[in-house]
Amino acid sequence: MGGESAAKKALRLASHWRDSAGSLLLLAAATETQLLEQLVAALPTADGPQRLAQSRAASRRRLVSTLLFLGVVGLSRPWVLRSYSGDGLALLSGRPRAYGYEHPERFLAQVAQAGGDQAWLITVAQWSQQLWAASQESVY
């Protein structure tokens, strides 16, 4: 039995390190290719809820970066922000303190109301296509 628990623990640790490495790669790629700026630009502020339309660009950028980089600090979804007290998300989003749960959740609801989920899907698909096209050009 002791071997099984050690194996499970090793698998869990390997999975954590893999997820962390993937998140750091996303951070580097998103920074290098301006993904964050593309996602912020894709927000449908004119057709969205009044609060989203009236929010400042800097606030929208910080909220998008918080959501995009949750995995970098080991969080899997916004709900976990209820108990998050680290400084990583604050640093990545350019805030003195990380957002709590309510702001990103409200922001996501407003984006969904305005149809921003489709705009983000298209933006990420185009971004991914550009990454693959660039990597294929450099292989040969």
Give the residue with greater pLDDT, 89 vs 6: 89
Measured between alpha carbons, how far is 127 from 38 in angstroms, rounded to an integer?
Answer: 9
DSSP at 76: -
Measured between alpha carbons, how far is 26 from 3 in angstroms, rounded to an integer?
Answer: 34
CB 74 within 8 A of CB 89: no
Give the residue with greater pLDDT, 57 vs 139: 57
| Termini Cα distance of the chain | 50
For the chain, the maximum distance between any two Cα atoms, rounded to a whole number of angstroms, is 60
Q: Using a pLDDT cut of 90, give the percent of the chain over it.
A: 34
Measured between alpha carbons, how far is 106 from 42 in angstroms, rounded to an integer?
Answer: 18
Q: What pLDDT, on a 0 to 100 scale, did the predictor assign at position 96?
A: 92
> Looking at the predicted structure, is the pLDDT value of residue 137 above 70?
no
Highest mean pLDDT pick, 14-23, 26-35, 41-50, 93-102: 93-102
Averaged pLDDT score across all residues of the chain: 82
